[in-house]
A and B are shown apart, each in its own frame.
Chain A
Amino acid sequence: MSSAPMLAVDSLSAWYGAARILYDLSFEVGRGEVVALMGRNGAGKSTTLKAVMGLLAQRQGKVRFNGDDISALKPFEIARRGLGFTPEDRRIFVDLTVMENLDIGRQAPRTFADGAPAPSWTPDKLFALFPNLAEMPNRLGNRMSGGEQQMLTVARTLMGNPLLVLLDEPSEGVAPLIVEQMASTIVELKKEGLSILLSEQNIHFARLVADRVYVLEKGQIHWQGSMTQLDNNPDVQRAYLTV
C-alpha cells in the first residue's frame, strides 16, 4: 500500500458486560482493498466490526479512518465520515418500503482524504446493481425474502456514499445462489473503488472476494496474510477455520 491506509486499527479491545471479547487487535484496510476477518463462531469477528463502528459501549484502542481519529466518536458521527455498516442480522426497517429504507441511509456525496470523489449512489444506480430490488421499490420490508433483505441492507448502506463498508457475514443464513450474488456484488464495489472489511466463516466465499485475511480466534489475531497464502496453508485452515 503506497498511501495511508483507509482504516487503521491499533490495539482495539472490547467488552460485553464483564466479559472481554477483543484483545488488542491491530489491522489495516487499504484503499480499494477487500479484507476478510475470518474465524469460528464466537471468535470476535462481528464484535470487531461493531467496535470499529462505535456500537459497543466499552472499547479501548485507536481507530483511524480516512486520516481522522474516530476512536471517540458516536456511531452516527462515524457514519457521517463515510464508514458504512451492514449488520449480520440485516436489520432493515420492516415497516418501511424499499425506497423509504434507502432514504433513511441517504447522505451527501463525499471525497477521499486526497480530494478524489468517492463513488456516489442513487436509487437508480443501486437498482442497476440489484435488479431484484428494482422490481419492488414500494414493497414493505416485511414482505421481502431473506435474500432480498440482504441486498437491501447493502443498498441502504451504499446510499450513504461510504468510502469503506463493514460487511458482517454476508454469506450467513442465505441460500447458495444469493451467496454467489453477494460475491459478485462485492467484486463490483471493489471495482468502483470502495474498500471493504468483511467478517466471514465461509472460505469458499472469501476466496471469491478477499485480497487479504486476518484470522481471529478468541478475540485475538492469530494469522494474517494474503488470500492466496491462506489458500496454500492447510495448517492455518485446519487450526482456526476447520474447513
Chain B
Amino acid sequence: MTLSAFLFQALNGLSTASGLFFIAVGLSLIFGVTRIINIAHGSLYMLGTYIAYSFATKIGGVLGFWGGILATALIVGAIGALIEIVLLRRIYRAPELFQLLATFALVLVINDATLWLWGPEDLLGPRAPGLGGAVEVLGRKLPTYDLFLIFVGPLVLVILHFALARTRFGRLIRAATQDREMVGALGVNQSILFTSVFALGALLAGLGGALQVAREPANLATDLVAIGDAFVVVVVGGMGSITGAYLAAVIIAEVKALCIGIGVVDFGFISVNFSKLTLVAEFLVMAVVLIARPYGLLGRAQATVRSIAEPEEPIRPATPMLKALAVTVLALLLCLPLLAQSSPYLLILGIDVLIAVIFATSLHFIMGPGGMHSFGHAAYFGLGAYGAALLVKWLGVPMGLALAAAPLVALAGALLFGWFAVRLSGVYLAMLTLAFAQIVWAAVFQWEGFTGGSNGVIGVWPPPPFDKSWVYFVLTLLLAVTGVLLLRRFLFAPFGYAMRAGRDSPLRAEAIGIDVKRVHWLGFAIAGGVCGVAGGLFAFAKGSISPETIGVGRSIDGLVMVLLGGIQTLTGPIVGASVFATLQDTVMRQTEYWRALLGAIILLLVLAFPQGIVGAFAAIWRKGKIEKSEGAS
C-alpha cells in the first residue's frame, strides 16, 4: 500500500470515528450520572438512521435531509426521556444487574418494533443535498459528506467539553457522577437531572445514527454492532471521559480502516486478508490498552458504587430434605424416556432444559459466588459448540472425542478472555465480556471458509446408539448432573471460598494473601469450560450450529435464568433454567416477534420485582413483621 493510500484510509477512519464518538459519549454520560449501562444505546443509534431515512425519503430535499437529521436527534432524545421516565426511574434502586437486564429488554423490543415499522430490508438513504460530491485528496476522491463528518465529531466534543466545564448543568452532571444522593440532599431535583442527561445521551446517539443515513444503509443488526463498538470505545477511552471517548473512537476507527486498507497481504508462505481481521484488531487494541491502563486511556480508578443488594447468607451443605428432593427429581428424569413413547417432544424439551441447566449453573458460578457479571457467557457456549462441530466437520472425529474437546476449546477461550475480564469489575466487566462475546460471534460469522459463515455447520448428528432421543437424553442428563455436582463441590472447597472472599472484600482478601485476580480468573475459566459442555451437547442435539444460536440473545437468556431463580442460592440457576427453557420452547416459538415477547417478559420481571425476586420476598416478609408488631403494640 502506498503512503497516499494509507493517509486516505486514515481520513476515512476519522469520519467513522465521529459516529462512534456520538454513541460512546452518550453511553458514558448516562452511565456517569445514572449508573445505568444503557445497552439500548445502540438501538437508539439504529433508530436514528431509520428515522432520518424516513425524513429524507418521505419529505426529501434539503429540508427532509438536513432538517430531518436535526428532527431525528430531537425525536430520539425525546424517546430517551420517555424511556427514562417510564422505565428507568422505577429501577434506580434495583440491583445493577436488573437495570442492565431492563435495557437489554429494550434492545429486543426496539429491534422488533423497527422490524415491524420498517421491514427487514436494508434501507439506503439519499445523498446529502449540497454535500453529494467529492473532493480530491491525495489523488483520490473523498466524499464531501465524509469530510463534513470528520469535522462534526471534534465540534461536538468541544461544545460538550465547554458545557461540562462552564455551565451549572455541567457542574451538576460532574457532581452527580460522583455522588448523586448528595446532590439531591443539597436541593437539586435528581429526577429532572437524570431525565435531561438521558435525553442528552439519546440525542447524541440519535444524531450519530442520523448522520450515517447518507453513508450506510439502515440495518436491523446495527444495534448490537454499534453497542459492541461503543463498549470497546468507552473501555479504551476511559469511562466518564468525553475526550477519552473521542480519542478511543479515532484509534478504533483508524485501526479498522487500516486493516481494510491493507487488504490481502502475501507473506510468501501465507497470505492474510487483513480486511477480515477488523474485529481481531479491535480486540488487540483493547487488550493492549487494558494491560497498560486498566481504566482506559483517560479514565481513572472507579469509585466503589454503594451496594444496596440484600446481603447473602453463608452457604451450608445440602440438607437431607434437599438431597431427597434432588434424588426424586433425578429419578423422575430417568423415567422420562418411558413417558416419551407417547409424547416424543418431551425428550427434546428435556434435552433443551438440561443443556440450559448446565449453561445457567456455569454462569451462576462466576456471577453469584464470583461476583463477575458476565454478559457474554454465550461466547463459551459457542466455542464449545463450534469446537465440537468443526472437529467433526474437518477432522471427522467421533462424537465422544468432539464432546470431550468442547470444554477444552471453551476453557482456552475463557482463559484468554477471562485474563482481561478479571482486571475490571462491575459494569466494566459486564461490558468487556459482552464485547468478547460479540467478537466470537463476529469471528464465526466472518470466517466463512472455516466456520460456514451465516449458514453455520450442519450435519453434526450423533452416531448410534445416541441417535435415539432417549439415549442422548440419558447422556445429557449424566453430563448435566456431573457438571452441576462438580461446580457445587468446587464452591464448597477452599477455592470456592476464596472466590467469594474476593467478591465480598477484594482488599481484605488481598490482605490475607489471596491473589484475587488469579482466583477469579481460574473461576472464570472453569465456568467457561463447563459451559463448553453445554455447547457441545447442543451442537449434537440439533445436528447443527449457526452464529445466531450463539449470539447475544443466548447470553441474555443465561442472565434471565440466573436472576429468575435467584442469584444468591445455589439451586436457583437450576430452577431458573428449567422454567425459562420450558417457557422458551413452548411459548416463544409461537410468534415471529419473539424478541419483543421476551423483552416484555423481562421488563415485567424487572418492574414487578425491582429488588430482585429474593429482595421482593424479603420485603413482603418484613412488611408482615411490621404490621404484626404494630398490631401487638
A and B touch in the complex (CB under 8 A): yes
CB of A215 within 8 A of chain B? no
CB of B582 within 8 A of chain A? no
Overall SS of chain B's interface: helix
CB of B458 within 8 A of chain A? no
A17, A95, A157: which contacts B174 (Cβ < 8 A)? Answer: A95
> A177 to B6, alpha carbons, bound, how many Å?
65
> A55 to B622, alpha carbons, bound, how many Å?
19
A76, A87, A100: which contacts B188 (Cβ < 8 A)? Answer: A76
Give every chain A residue within 8 A of B621 (Cβ-Cβ).
18
Give every chain B residue within 8 A of A55 (Cβ-Cβ).
181, 185
A104, A107, A160: which contacts B171 (Cβ < 8 A)? Answer: A104
Interface positions of A from 95 to 117, Cβ below 8 Å from B: 95-96, 100-101, 103-105, 107
A15, A17, A75, A93: which contacts B175 (Cβ < 8 A)? Answer: A93
B535 to chain A, nearest CB (A): 39
Find out whether the CB atom of A75 lies under 8 angstroms from the CB atom of B185: yes
Whose C-beta in chain A lies nearest to the C-beta of B300? A95
Give 10 CB contacts A-B under 8 Å.
Answer: A53-B185, A75-B181, A76-B186, A79-B184, A79-B187, A96-B171, A101-B175, A103-B171, A104-B172, A104-B183
Q: Contacts A18-B621, A105-B186, A160-B186 given; 11 further ones with Cβ under 8 A?
A: A17-B622, A53-B185, A87-B182, A93-B179, A93-B182, A95-B177, A96-B174, A100-B171, A101-B175, A103-B171, A104-B188
> A156 to B311, alpha carbons, bound, how many Å?
34
A76, A93, A103: which contacts B187 (Cβ < 8 A)? Answer: A76
Find out whether the CB atom of A17 lies under 8 angstroms from the CB atom of B185: no
Whose C-beta in chain A lies nearest to the C-beta of B311? A17
Find out whether the CB atom of A76 lies under 8 angstroms from the CB atom of B189: yes
B166 to chain A, nearest CB (A): 10
Give every chain B residue within 8 A of A101 (Cβ-Cβ).
175
Give every chain A residue within 8 A of B185 (Cβ-Cβ).
53, 55, 75-76, 79, 85, 87
Interface positions of A from 136 to 193, Cβ below 8 Å from B: 156-157, 160
Q: How large is the interface on A (under 10, 10 to 19, 20 to 34, 35 or more residues)?
A: 20 to 34
CB of A91 within 8 A of chain B? yes
Find out whether the CB atom of A80 lies under 8 angstroms from the CB atom of B310: no
CB of B549 within 8 A of chain A? no
A18, A91, A95, A107: which contacts B622 (Cβ < 8 A)? Answer: A18
Find out whether the CB atom of B93 lies under 8 angstroms from the CB atom of A57: yes
Give every chain A residue within 8 A of B625 (Cβ-Cβ).
18
Give every chain A residue within 8 A of B186 (Cβ-Cβ).
76, 79, 85, 104-105, 156-157, 160
Most chain B Cβ neighbours within 10 Å, of A15, A104, A157 = A104
Residues in chain A within 8 A of chain B (CB atoms):
15, 17-18, 53, 55, 57, 74-76, 79-80, 85, 87, 91, 93-96, 100-101, 103-105, 107, 156-157, 160
Give every chain A residue within 8 A of B190 (Cβ-Cβ).
76
Whose C-beta in chain A lies nearest to the C-beta of B187? A79
> A101 to B168, alpha carbons, bound, how many Å?
11
B481 to chain A, nearest CB (A): 35
CB of B222 within 8 A of chain A? no
> A17 to B615, alpha carbons, bound, how many Å?
9
A109 to chain B, nearest CB (A): 13
B600 to chain A, nearest CB (A): 27
B 155-195 to A, binary, CB cutoff 8 A, 1 in contact else 0? 00000000000001001101101110111111111100000
CB of B264 within 8 A of chain A? no
| Given A93-B179, A103-B168, also A17-B618 (CB < 8 A) | yes
> A157 to B182, alpha carbons, bound, how many Å?
11
Most chain A Cβ neighbours within 10 Å, of B177, B183, B185 = B185
Q: How large is the interface on B (under 10, 10 to 19, 20 to 34, 35 or more residues)?
A: 20 to 34
Give every chain B residue within 8 A of A100 (Cβ-Cβ).
171, 174-175
B33 to chain A, nearest CB (A): 13
B255 to chain A, nearest CB (A): 30
Whose C-beta in chain B lies nearest to the C-beta of A100? B171
Give every chain B residue within 8 A of A57 (Cβ-Cβ).
93
> A93 to B172, alpha carbons, bound, how many Å?
10
Find out whether the CB atom of A74 lies under 8 angstroms from the CB atom of B184: yes
Whose C-beta in chain B lies nearest to the C-beta of A13? B626
Give every chain A residue within 8 A of B171 (Cβ-Cβ).
96, 100, 103-104
Give every chain A residue within 8 A of B310 (Cβ-Cβ).
17
> A103 to B177, alpha carbons, bound, how many Å?
16
Most chain B Cβ neighbours within 10 Å, of A75, A96, A107, A156 = A75
Most chain B Cβ neighbours within 10 Å, of A91, A96, A103 = A91
> A53 to B181, alpha carbons, bound, how many Å?
11
| Given A75-B181, A103-B168, also A96-B187 (CB < 8 A) | no
> A160 to B187, alpha carbons, bound, how many Å?
8
A43 to chain B, nearest CB (A): 21
B175, B189, B311, B618: which contacts A96 (Cβ < 8 A)? Answer: B175
Give every chain B residue within 8 A of A91 (Cβ-Cβ).
179, 182
> A74 to B311, alpha carbons, bound, how many Å?
26
Interface positions of B from 606 to 626, Cβ below 8 Å from A: 618, 621-622, 625
Give every chain A residue within 8 A of B188 (Cβ-Cβ).
76, 104
A78 to chain B, nearest CB (A): 8
Give every chain B residue within 8 A of A95 (Cβ-Cβ).
174, 177-178
Give every chain B residue within 8 A of A85 (Cβ-Cβ).
185-186
Give every chain B residue within 8 A of A104 (Cβ-Cβ).
171-172, 175, 183, 186, 188
B31 to chain A, nearest CB (A): 15
> A91 to B178, alpha carbons, bound, how many Å?
9
> A4 to B481, alpha carbons, bound, how many Å?
70
Give every chain B residue within 8 A of A80 (Cβ-Cβ).
187
Give every chain A residue within 8 A of B181 (Cβ-Cβ).
55, 75
A100 to chain B, nearest CB (A): 5
B 457-498 to A, binary, CB cutoff 8 A, 1 in contact else 0? 000000000000000000000000000000000000000000
> A234 to B380, alpha carbons, bound, how many Å?
67
Give every chain A residue within 8 A of B168 (Cβ-Cβ).
103
> A18 to B619, alpha carbons, bound, how many Å?
8
> A105 to B188, alpha carbons, bound, how many Å?
8
Find out whether the CB atom of A94 lies under 8 angstroms from the CB atom of B178: yes
> A74 to B188, alpha carbons, bound, how many Å?
11
Most chain A Cβ neighbours within 10 Å, of B172, B174, B184 = B184
Whose C-beta in chain A lies nearest to the C-beta of B310? A17
B 299-331 to A, binary, CB cutoff 8 A, 1 in contact else 0? 000000000001100000000000000000000
Whose C-beta in chain B lies nearest to the C-beta of A108? B187
- Of all A-B residue pairs in the complex, the 9 with the closest CB atoms, nearest first, are A79-B187, A93-B175, A75-B184, A76-B184, A91-B182, A85-B185, A80-B187, A105-B186, A75-B185
Give every chain B residue within 8 A of A107 (Cβ-Cβ).
187
Give every chain A residue within 8 A of B183 (Cβ-Cβ).
104
Whose C-beta in chain B lies nearest to the C-beta of A105? B186
B300 to chain A, nearest CB (A): 9
Whose C-beta in chain A lies nearest to the C-beta of B93? A57
Whose C-beta in chain B lies nearest to the C-beta of A94? B178
Give every chain A residue within 8 A of B177 (Cβ-Cβ).
95
B436 to chain A, nearest CB (A): 31
B613 to chain A, nearest CB (A): 15
Give every chain A residue within 8 A of B174 (Cβ-Cβ).
93, 95-96, 100
